């Protein structure tokens, strides 16, 4: 069997080993069904010794990796195995960074599962920061998730109790770089309504792009099959953006200074994103949570 995507040969002394060559793009989501079908047909013929040539597989997604794990488990249960050969360095890196914790849908409480499935009547414990920076937890009936998210934004300059009165909307996209432009356009639409000029809108666009790119690269390790949720709140004076992800959190120290020149001398790229964000907004806050996901809050005032 030979086509552009998959080539199958029999090898070994008695032709008892199946060798599968995955063509360019076989790891793409649109082609996963064909890869799954090919492996399933091997198992139906009792072919459980398989060599998988992945010379063209550059960036296997988490779903693709999970498919390989599933197929390998089946082959081993019947005394065989799947041997992967000729993996490019990028593919090996994706295998190393694959995380079951990131791939599987893990929630701490039953209520969180209901909420994620769209039940907006669920009562969730929402944690916010008050004016003296003490953490308080109280139940909030979530009838409008965007309003609940907005309650988390507060400091001495921003009164979180007023955020309920702000207009709000949200967008949720998969963690793919191509989707960042959709997120940026979504935020910029709100910035236009408020009255930010072209120069400030440019800063906002770069900020949102960098913040979401950080999520893709560092929270999700470039796994394109997770989700980024962006909520936007605004009134006549300010724009509040909440970037929500369910990936790996990080320790954020806003007081730390980032030496751009030293970073360039050291050929260090990490850190530029947060440096750009800090210089472009009036207020920033980051709240990591294994239960509710990580949220980055950005506040931008309109200068009249």
Cα(260)–Cα(266) distance, integer angstroms: 10
Buried residues in 6-31 as b, exposed as e (16+ CB within 10 A): bebeeeeeeeebbbbbbbeebbeeeb
Please tell me the chain's helix, strand, coil percentages from 3-state DSSP, rounded to the nearest 5. Answer: 40, 25, 35
Closest CA to 19 of 42, 44, 52: 52
Q: Please answer whether residues 120 and 147 qualify as being in contact, where contact means their C-beta atoms are separated by less than 8 angstroms.
A: no
Lowest pLDDT segment from 69-78, 95-104, 156-165, 207-216: 156-165
The segment(s) of the chain belonging to CATH 3.30.565.10 are: 144-301
Cα(201)–Cα(188) distance, integer angstroms: 7
Confidence of residue 94 (pLDDT cuts 50, 70, 90): confident
Task: Name the CATH architecture for the domain at 6-98.
Answer: 2-Layer Sandwich (3.30)
In terms of average pLDDT, the best of 4-13, 116-125, 267-276 is 4-13
Residue that the structure tokens 């109280």 belong to = 138
Torsion of CA 190, 192, 194, 195, to 10 degrees: 160
Task: Provide the CATH number for the domain formed by 144-301 in this structure.
Answer: 3.30.565.10
On average, the pLDDT of the chain sits at: 77
At 134-168, the pLDDT tens digits run: 333 333 233 333 343 344 444 445 543 455 567 77
Copy the structure tokens of residue 253.
């120290």
Q: Is the pLDDT of residue 2 over 70?
A: no
Kindly state the average pLDDT of the residues 40-53: 94
The segment(s) of the chain belonging to CATH 3.30.750.24 are: 6-98
Cα(18)–Cα(1) distance, integer angstroms: 12
pTM as predicted: 0.52
Pairing of strands 81-85, 49-53: parallel
Output the pLDDT for position 260. Answer: 41
Higher pLDDT, 285 or 106: 285
At 227-264, the pLDDT tens digits run: 899 989 888 888 999 999 988 887 776 655 544 444 43
């Amino acid at each position: 069997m030979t086509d552009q995507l998959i080539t199958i040969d029999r090898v070994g002394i008695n032709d008892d080993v199946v060798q599968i060559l995955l063509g360019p793009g076989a790891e793409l989501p649109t082609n996963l069904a064909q890869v799954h079908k090919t492996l399933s047909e091997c198992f139906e013929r009792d072919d459980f010794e398989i060599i998988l040539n992945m010379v063209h597989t550059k960036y296997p997604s988490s779903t693709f990796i999970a498919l390989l794990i599933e197929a390998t488990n089946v082959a081993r249960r019947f005394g065989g195995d799947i041997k992967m050969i000729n993996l490019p360095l990028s593919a090996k890196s994706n295998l190393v960074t694959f995380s079951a914790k990131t791939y599987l849908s893990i929630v701490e409480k039953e209520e969180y599962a209901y909420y994620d499935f769209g039940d907006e009547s669920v009562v969730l414990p929402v944690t916010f920061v008050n004016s003296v920076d003490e953490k308080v937890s109280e139940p909030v009936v979530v009838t409008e998730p965007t309003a609940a998210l907005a309650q988390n934004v507060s400091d001495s300059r921003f009164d979180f109790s007023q955020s309920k009165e702000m207009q709000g909307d949200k967008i949720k996209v998969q963690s793919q770089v191509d989707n960042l432009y959709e997120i940026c356009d979504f935020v910029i639409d709100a910035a236009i309504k408020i009255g930010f000029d072209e120069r400030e809108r440019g800063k906002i666009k770069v900020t949102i792009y960098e913040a979401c790119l950080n999520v893709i690269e560092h929270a999700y390790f470039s796994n394109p099959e997770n989700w980024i949720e962006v909520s936007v709140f605004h009134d006549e004076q300010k724009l509040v953006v909440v970037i929500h992800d369910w990936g790996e959190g990080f320790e954020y120290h806003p007081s730390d200074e980032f030496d751009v020149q030293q970073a360039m001398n050291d050929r260090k790229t990490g850190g530029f994103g947060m440096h750009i964000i800090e210089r472009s907004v009036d207020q920033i806050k980051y709240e990591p949570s294994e239960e509710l996901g990580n949220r980055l809050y950005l506040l931008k005032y309109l200068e009249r």
